[in-house]
A and B are shown apart, each in its own frame.
Chain A
Amino acid sequence: MNQQGRPTRPTGGNAISTQNGLGIAEPLIFEQGQEKRCGVDLPPLPEFRERLGGLRREGTIGLPGLSEPQVVRHYTRLSQMNFSIDGNFYPLGSCTMKHNPRLNEKLARLPGLADLHPLQPVSTVQGALELIDLLAYWLKTLTGMPAVAMPQAAGAHGEFCGMAAIKAALAARGETRIKVLAPESAHGTNPATAAALGFVVETIPANAEGRVDLDVFKAKLGPDVAAIMLTNPNTCGLFERDMIEIAEAVHAVGAYFYCDGANFNAIVGRIRPADLGVDAMHINLHKTFSTPHGGGGPGAGPVVLSEELARFAPLPFVVRDDKGFRLVEHAKDAKESIGRLKGFHGQMGMFIRALAYMLSHGADGLWQVSGDAVLNANYILASLKDVMTASYAGPCMHEALFDDRFLKDTGVTTLDFAKALLDEGFHPMTMYFPLVVHGAMLIEPTETESRETLDGFIAVMRSLAEQAQSGNVELFHEAPRQTPLRRLDETLAARRPVLKWTKGQPK
């Protein structure tokens, strides 16, 4: 890389980082192509009669031509610019960045599962339908709920499914209720989902203990409330102690309890949402059940449903009769269903991975998963609370929340602190979320980190906290120094959006 004239980027390093040799500037694929070069070989065309109805594409598309070795090197180099769970501790709160077992990848690629067309005759896909049914059994058993809707592609998609089912259930009762209650600490998807469904969102403030303020909540309850959307454990990493009382109050006014299951990892195998009074809850298979995050997706968001809501579940779903498994795909066979939410049957590739994960762990393993996830988070909380400011007293669940009071008057912000962590080879915690504390730092270690890794992280965090308090502001303001790029200008990106490469564009 050309670093001439850029003395702000030190060549030495003060970190444990191993990234120094990989600071590669890789041009875009469009800047590397050449006409007539190609990375695939194809057989010659047979003689044929063209039937394009005069709609043959004119001119060139503009795609670059590259050979296979060039493409492989390009994307290998790009990959080297990423932090990942495989390579780095990645304690991103609310995201459950746990190890992604490679067995799951292997099984998801079995031709008998990966190479199935969704519209094959059902007689030829009995194993696939059985797999969906088996995964559904695990999800129902782990949550104690009687039904599960499988097709949704992600958590927010699951939220939409569950809330649409609630809206349909109200309509079936002949009621129109417009209000949805959600804590101020909720994920942004909760209010966005409720609003998309036409509900008016009312925010419930948190009390001094980081939980739903029960008095305010009860005062807001009434016959116009359709549902509460509550994450539990909540986004402060705390268990809502009053959950059962909340559920009873919600049900007493004829409303429904939607639980955001994003944090299910803290309780999986130990606590069943059904025992807490939940009516619907989505489960992010890409969080709790370790399907890979893949740089942002794909996910999968099955929704467990109460008996009452089950009849509104979306299409399609798997049923078993004396002839085996079959799919219910049409509204005529499920008259109260909210309808179809996506193409085909669901995120099969994620189902296979999640099931492999569940079978690997078993009931005893999953019990240990939530136990270790909570233990690891509390270990971090206990090891850092004397040098950083914990927002709430412990114990926490699977994530530990700090705020920026310990940085007061140091000139160092939560963002600076996070960027300094990058130089140490750690992916930062979630920053500035939840919104209920100032300068939030939400640390979720997950159960797949060793004590040695946690100790290394804790040592770095303690040292950084001390550096900030002792006035070494430059360390933070110049961070990150060891990453391929440093502090990208997000304002510029939004003010003058450049969303694609165009020919002749300056590099």
Chain B
Amino acid sequence: MRYLPLTDADRRLMLERIGVNSVDDLFVDVPASARLPGPLPTLPKHLAEFEVERIIGGLAAKNLSAGACPSFLGAGAYRHHVPASVDQLLLRGEFLTSYTPYQPEVSQGTLQSLFEFQTQVALLTGMEVANASMYDGATACAEAVMMANRITRRGNALVSGGLHPHYREVIQTMADSTGFAVQALPPTISPVEEIAENIDQETACVVVQNPDFFGRLHDFTALAEICQSNGALLVVVVTEVVSLGLIKPPGAMGADIVVAEGQGIGNALGFGGPHVGLFACKEKYVRQMPGRLCGQTVDADGRRGYVLTLSTREQHIRREKATSNICTNSGLCALAFTIHLSLLGEEGLTRLAELNHAMASTFADMIAQVPGCRVLNESFFNEFTVELPFPAAALVDKMAIVPILAGVPVSRLYPDNPELENLLLVAVTELNQIQEMETFVQLLKVWL
């Protein structure tokens, strides 16, 4: 077996030194009734590398990959180009096969890259500090709400209807399981949402998203002030991180905590995971943050270096008093983010974001010309909402046969809101081409 170096001769020699007759003798502490007599007969035997490739390759071949046809899917996961060098560097075994950097002397590579990641996230979000990543944007968002509960000693989260429904649902699960209240405003296509009116003295935090689930842009500066005067924290969510290259960052609007899905930089769609959660906040709240933090220090010879720090917040030290039960982060996805963003730099990220916006704006204009279709957004970054004269899911199914991945029908995420049934979320990135948009529009005209 190719992954197992021991030979039978090795095993005999080793058993001899241990002083037992067989490997089975090492399992004497297991109740006899629970010991299987041999390998499970209901599972197949081992396979050659090419046989495994055949099976999993066969499963892959049954899918329509987003790159094999025009794709306009977004709603929290965006198909951007990842430079070849990103993946080549990720595959370096020193990154790929190392553990959490608990021995800093032999983990400076991971630690320094995390320090760079934290700096990049702080710069992008316009916040003072950022952690070393979370599982994904949705879990980061729920952790932000629980952090706000700890800071304000209140237990009521006010959630905008513009928040991605998966994020809202994760908050709800955490609320039901751990015991806090959620007031979720309904999703609405109206450009004005009455958030401030719902804030009261029990409100721990207000959770909003920019661009919101429907693609609209918001300035939350006034809301941040209202939150502050009511003793509540403002949590701003960003599900398309590339937007931060072009849009006023949440930090500049007065956000207390910013969480984001970082997948759009450096990471594949991957059918939804693994992705990488970004988590940033004001410095005064750092000791209430969840997740790992990397900090700068010096070594015994006075040289600059990095370590995991403030771990007295964490479960392995604090156990039941920890700020969160989180142990694992999304290290390798964070590294992909950091390498890609290093390649982009100031100029590349700004250009990339502008290109996304320009392409989306072009497509929105084309769709708006189609009789019966309406683009609902006055503002957007690279994703907008189209109102069709019939259920959006029907169009998406028809387009899939072409094949074109036409967008995300809002009903996929909000199946019980008939008023949203005709809405289609359309996302455009640098990978979309004008010809694809023309084909889309021609088909739309035929089918309307």
Contact = CB atoms under 8 A, between A and B. Distances in A.
Contacts of A221: none
Contacts of B91: 105
Interface stretch (A58-66, A212-220, A406-414, A465-473): A58-66
A335 interface: no
Contacts of B31: 241, 243-244, 276
B89 A101 contact: no
B138 A382 contact: no
Contacts of B295: 493-494, 497-499
A397 to B, nearest CB: 8
Interface string B279-312: 0000000100000111111111101111101111
Interface stretch (B192-200, B342-350, B440-448): B342-350
B361 A28 contact: no
18 contacts: A33-B345, A35-B346, A39-B345, A51-B357, A53-B218, A82-B98, A114-B268, A128-B59, A159-B325, A160-B325, A272-B36, A298-B329, A340-B138, A340-B169, A342-B166, A485-B301, A488-B300, A488-B307
A16 interface: no
A78 B109 contact: yes
Interface string B1-32: 11111100011011101111001011111110
Interface stretch (B152-160, B225-233, B373-381): B373-381
A368 interface: yes
Contact of B18 (A168, A395, A433, A448): A395
A124 B64 contact: yes
B214 interface: no
B139 A157 contact: yes
Given A46-B434, A50-B361, A101 B98 contact: no
A271 B328 contact: no
Q: Taking each of A72, A192, A238, A369, which has the highest tally of chain B beta carbons within 10 Å of its own beta carbon?
A: A192
Contact of A79 (B56, B94, B249, B273): B94
Given A48-B361, A61-B124, A340 B107 contact: no
A118 B77 contact: yes
Contacts of A331: 169
B63 A113 contact: yes
Given A83-B98, A164-B177, A422 B4 contact: no
B396 interface: yes
B4 A448 contact: yes
Interface string A228-247: 00000000001101011000
A254 interface: no
A62 B341 CA distance: 12
B104 A112 contact: no
A61 B343 contact: no
Greatest chain A CB density within 10 A among B31, B34, B40, B105 is at B105
A104 B316 CA distance: 30
Given A68-B343, A112-B61, 18 more contacts: A29-B338, A54-B219, A123-B400, A188-B314, A188-B316, A275-B33, A329-B412, A332-B415, A339-B176, A346-B273, A360-B49, A365-B3, A395-B28, A451-B13, A486-B301, A488-B297, A488-B305, A497-B309
A416 B361 CA distance: 61
A295 to B, nearest CB: 4
Contacts of A493: 295-297, 307, 309
Contacts of A261: none
A188 B317 contact: yes
Contacts of B42: 141, 363
A148 interface: no
A100 interface: yes
B113 A154 contact: no
A239 B379 contact: no
Contacts of B321: 195
Given A127-B61, A157-B139, A382-B19, A352 B56 contact: yes
Question: What is the interface of chain A mostly: helix, strand, loop, or mixed?
Answer: loop
B52 A107 contact: yes
A288 interface: no
Interface in B206-259: 216-219, 244-249, 252
A173 interface: no
A433 B407 CA distance: 50
Nearest to B268: A114
Given A343-B138, A485-B105, A497-B310, A49 B63 contact: no
Contacts of A25: 303
Contact of A192 (B13, B112, B245, B318): B318
Interface string B46-84: 110101110111111111111110010101110100010
B341 A63 contact: yes
Q: Which of B79, B137, B329 has the most CB of A within 10 A?
A: B329
A285 to B, nearest CB: 11
A194 to B, nearest CB: 7
Given A45-B358, A52-B357, A375-B14, A68 B105 contact: no
Given A103-B53, A125-B63, A451-B10, A50 B357 contact: yes
B339 A75 contact: yes
Nearest to B364: A51
A51 B52 contact: no
B370 interface: no
Contacts of B349: 61, 63
A42 B351 contact: yes
B361 A295 contact: no
Given A61-B349, A75-B89, A342 B138 contact: yes
B309 to A, nearest CB: 4
A490 interface: yes
